[in-house]
Amino acid sequence: MRFELPKLEYAVEALAPAIGKETLEFHHGKHFLTYVNNLNGLIEGTKFESADLETIVRESDGAIFNNAGQVLNHDIYFKSFSPSPKSEPSGKLLEAIRKRFGSFGEFKEEFGKAAISLFGSGWAWLYKKDDGSLELSREPNAGNPVHSRTGLPLFCCDVWEHSYYLDYQNRRADYVQNFWKVLDWEKVEERFINNKL
């Protein structure tokens, strides 16, 4: 299977000022594309040559996993945004958030701490466990809940510096605070309800 760079579902300037046009051009058009191209080259002639992305992420290691993980992570990341997002969860997802974290506000605070405090580069995740409950994780490098087999990824915050440095320099906390302004809870709810990426 040959992978391709997914197209953005919005214009490159549409998420500004939370995520600027230049950041999207570099992050999506260059960084993400590089992972896609690397993955295609690495799986040629291997047992993963015809595998779907989730299988590769779950079963690979080393360079293949690093690139497959980053392809999956970036795909979820960019598909979770909207220039006119639903700003809060509702229904069963909101119930699950309240059950695990107490309130939506407390959830945002915990998630923000996870994203800000991750040392180095990586991802903060909200994922759905097999029993339907929710959990947070901080994953270094290309890590995600698919590879660790902990659950279904619902959304992530990319805290590699290339995701925010052009807009915020070293102010990761400002980036995380503005991340909520473009996260579309309707898309997160779809993953939660349909139980698939």
- pLDDT at residue 23 tops 80: yes
130-142: per-residue pLDDT in tens?
A: 999 999 999 999 9
- pLDDT at residue 1 tops 80: no
Sign of CA dihedral 87, 184, 125, 172: negative
Mean pLDDT of all residues in 156-165: 97
pLDDT band of residue 165 (cuts 50, 70, 90) is very high
Which residues touch 107 (CB under 8 Å, ≥6 apart)? 97, 100, 101
Largest interatomic CA distance in the chain: 49
Q: What is the pLDDT of residue 17?
A: 97
107-158-26-28 Cα dihedral, nearest 10 degrees: -80
Q: What is the pLDDT of residue 197?
A: 86
Domains defined along the chain, listed by start = 21-79 (1.10.287.990), 91-194 (3.55.40.20)
Q: What is the pLDDT of residue 77?
A: 98
Q: What is the pLDDT of residue 97?
A: 98
Q: In what order do the strands lie in the sheet with 134-140?
A: 134-140, 122-128, 152-158
26-73: per-residue pLDDT in tens?
A: 999 999 999 999 999 999 999 999 999 999 999 999 999 999 999 999
